Structure 1
Amino acid sequence: MKTAIFLLCISLLFLSCSKKPAVIFKEFPHTRLKPVAIETLPEFNAENFDAVLQSFQKNCQTKKAFEIYENLCNEAKYVSDVETFIRENFQAYQIVNDKEDDTGLLTGYYEAEIHASYQKSDRYKYPVYATPKDLVVVDLSQIYPELKHYRLRGRLDGNRVIPYLTRGEAKTNELNASVLCYCDSEIDKFFLEVQGSGIAKLDDNSSFYLGYDNQNGYKYRSIGKYLVKKNELSLEEVSLQSIREWLREHPDRIDEVLNYNNSMVFFSKREHGATGALGVELTPMRSIAVDKRYISLGSMLYLHADLNNTKINKIVFAQDTGGAIKGTVRADLFVGSGEEALALAGHLKAPLKLWLLLPKEKEKNE
């Protein structure tokens, strides 16, 4: 219902303010939309529309996406000509920020892998925690609606809520949390937290999936920026691979660097592969993480990015969030799992343009 009202507000704004350069979301005041013809999207004709239909149908299985695309979700079950279906039923709106800037940043993430055991040992000594039993999550939105996208996390000290343990404090204090497994690399465990999901490959050759469940309440801080600040890496050198290499070459400084990021992620076991904040299993090269303060989860978008003279143009779906994904024109592209995915995610850093794809009938019928 809320999403329907939200879309109605957008529609009314378009009808009444068509001469203005951009339209402002009522619920997202720093997100502006500029209507464009869908045919003008970069290389739109080259899209794999059959693959888009599969992703759209999976996206529609979630409540948030169905609220946005209700009629089209139902119609998509019977579509044969996907390209015509999209051209006739969707309107494209370029996303710009409150300064009318339409260019942001695209990065990539992947399904991480750790080597682990259920038993602690000299080799497997780094615990992967479930959400602590004493972690308190406070939702203030009913009292302060402007804080609807924020949660206060901490722990009880008597009748007071105090900050939860930082990453560094958690190393010297026993957490009131179950240990899902122990892994053999503190570096791999850290990047599992950064990616938000992964596969634990056990010493008995079995494996299981891990997915984000919660975090300790601290904002994500980039250790890559920290290494640049300390003159250990140049800004141009920073990548997932270069950070890993530096940490391996400086084992005596691992704690210093990793603990710069106070944020700590907690996991749960999953039956499927990487699952995003929307609650649906992520699709490589189709799922993106966004800042949900500016873009609704469940949204269908068109993405354009230039990566070392290679253009990425495709329809994607906002199905995840991330601590490092902040801003209006900002996205993190899920690229899959394995060594190739790791290599791509580690070096993916490109200028980005985004278009939101909304149903045309909302404009006509509301």
Structure 2
Amino acid sequence: MTASFFPRALLLLIVGSLIACSTPRKGDIPMADKVPPLPTGMVPDTAPLPPPIARPGSRWVPVRWAELPGLAEDDVHQALQAWQHSCTAPPAALARLCPDIRRLGLANTAQIWHWLQTHMQPYRVEDHSGNSNGMLTAYYEPFFNAQRQPDPVFRYPLYAAPVGVEGFGKRKPWLSRQQIESSPSVQAALAGHEIAWLDDPVKVLVLHIQGSGRLNMTEPDGRQRQVRAAFAATNDHPYRSVGKWLLERGLVRDATWPGITAWTQANPSRVQEMLWSNPRYVFFREEALDEVSSNFGPKGAQGVPLTAERSIAVDRRSIPYGTPVWLSSSGPTQALNRLVLAQDTGSAIVGAVRADYFMGSGEIAGDIAGRTKQDLRLWVLWPKGAPAP
């Protein structure tokens, strides 16, 4: 049974007492100049560590909180909203903590850190060979203009899942991207499944890669409204990187999205060839956007809305959905030390120490996401005394 959340005044008193008594005695722990500073509200932990946890795709090694880099840099309040979203569909071991997570929104930073240290055990994520270094990429929710009806400019469709079309959902994989887009009979079978039309086939590909997007939709009567094109299904083909395809042929040196965009603008006659190099095809469903849902990203694989800069996609064999994770990454795009939640997955997100960082929505988020490819280390936070996932 988890400890109940302390009343604010009492917890402040306890935290203050802990801080006042936090000077270690000689021999208790390494000297302070060898231990990274802990946030206010935490004290050096010296309790015996639990055993490692084996996952199908990773190994979790228990560590002291002081191993996690940059703890004092993060505003952990910002992570609570993402954690509260996970509490609408939590893993069994984390469900018992959710009442506290909801109340922690009223706590101060010291109280949150004290609660985390009291209830959670950090584990370093490694692969089964002991390697704890991995790769971070990022993704975002694009925002494009779209139309309900096609015209000579807006002529590239986004399709709903073609339920009832021969072979779909029964033959896996189904037709490839090239087969879907080049076969007149397939195009005829898909007629009526369009949910929107875009003005650029590369934008369609971006939506297929990111898995969702916001559309500024123009209706037949001229009215405009914002809707979300949310992930619905795929043709079950593997994802192939168009950036890698360009690099392998020596067509670009910069395979970030800005580099790819520059190549497509300079080589319009080869764009279709590039698009067909990725056989994976995504189908969408339309979702309305209201004042609440427009503040958050699309629903991830956990089934909860993603939170900008606080949600990550992971390999489920390594980290279960809903798990809080300390993420540390340094690179040319951005340096990150922060608490995030594992709430999504992706066909290219494979490996023990692998994450895709949700940047948010729009052009700025897309620019940063398109340039993010850097080193990564991960630590999961798992409830003390809870069974292994």
Counterpart Cα distance in 2 of 1:77 and 1:114: 35
TM-score of the two chains, using structure 1 as the length reference: 0.82
Which residue number in structure 2 is paired with residue 52 of structure 1? 79
Question: What secondary structure is seen at the aligned counterpart in 2 of 1:307?
Answer: coil
Which residue number in structure 1 is paired with residue 383 of structure 2? 359
Question: What secondary structure is seen at the aligned counterpart in 1 of 2:69?
Answer: coil
Check if 1:188 corresponds to 2:213.
Answer: no
TM-score of the two chains, using structure 2 as the length reference: 0.78
User: Are the equivalent residues in 2 in contact too, given 1:114–1:201 (CA < 8 A)?
Assistant: yes
Which residue number in structure 1 is paired with residue 12 of structure 2? none
Q: State the percentage of identical aligned residues.
A: 31
Counterpart Cα distance in 2 of 1:323 and 1:238: 19
After superposition, what is the alpha-carbon deviation per residue over 1:324-360, rounded to whole angstroms, capped at 9, x for unaligned?
A: 2111110010001122101110111110001111001
In the TM superposition, structure 1's runs of 4+ consecutive aligned residues that sit over 6 Å from their partners are: none
Counterpart Cα distance in 2 of 1:78 and 1:319: 21
The 5 A counterparts of 1:157-236 are 161=171, 163-171=173-181, 172=183, 173-174=186-187, 175-176=189-190, 178-203=193-218, 204-234=223-253
After superposition, what is the alpha-carbon deviation per residue over 1:240-266, rounded to whole angstroms, capped at 9, x for unaligned?
A: 111122112211111111101100001
Which residue number in structure 1 is paired with residue 17 of structure 2? none
Unaligned runs of 5+ in 2: 1-48
| Amino acid across the alignment from 2:232 | D
Q: Of the candidates 53, 62, 67, which is equivalent to residue 92 of structure 2?
A: 67
Q: Of the candidates 252, 256, 269, which is equivalent to residue 239 of structure 1?
A: 256
Which residue number in structure 2 is paired with residue 333 of structure 1? 357
Aligned residues: 320
After superposition, what is the alpha-carbon deviation per residue over 1:224-246, rounded to whole angstroms, capped at 9, x for unaligned?
A: 11001111012xx1101111221
Instruction: Give the drift of 1:309.
Output: 8.0
Check if 1:318 corresponds to 2:342.
Answer: yes
Which residue number in structure 1 is paired with residue 303 of structure 2? 279
After superposition, what is the alpha-carbon deviation per residue over 1:201-244, rounded to whole angstroms, capped at 9, x for unaligned?
A: 1234322111111100100000111001111012xx11011112
The 5 A counterparts of 1:284-323 are 284-308=308-332, 310-323=334-347
Counterpart Cα distance in 2 of 1:316 and 1:260: 33
Question: What secondary structure is seen at the aligned counterpart in 1 of 2:96?
Answer: helix
Instruction: Give the drift of 1:125.
Output: 0.6
Check if 1:93 corresponds to 2:123.
Answer: yes
Which residue number in structure 1 is paired with residue 151 of structure 2? 121
| Structure with higher strand content | 1
User: Are the equivalent residues in 2 in contact too, given 1:219–1:323 (CA < 8 A)?
Assistant: yes
Which residue number in structure 2 is paired with residue 144 of structure 1? none
Moved more, 198-207 or 337-346: 198-207
Distance 1:225 1:362, change over 3 A: same
Question: What secondary structure is seen at the aligned counterpart in 1 of 2:283?
Answer: strand
Instruction: Give the drift of 1:90.
Output: 0.5
Counterpart Cα distance in 2 of 1:58 and 1:281: 7
Unaligned runs of 5+ in 1: 1-13, 137-152
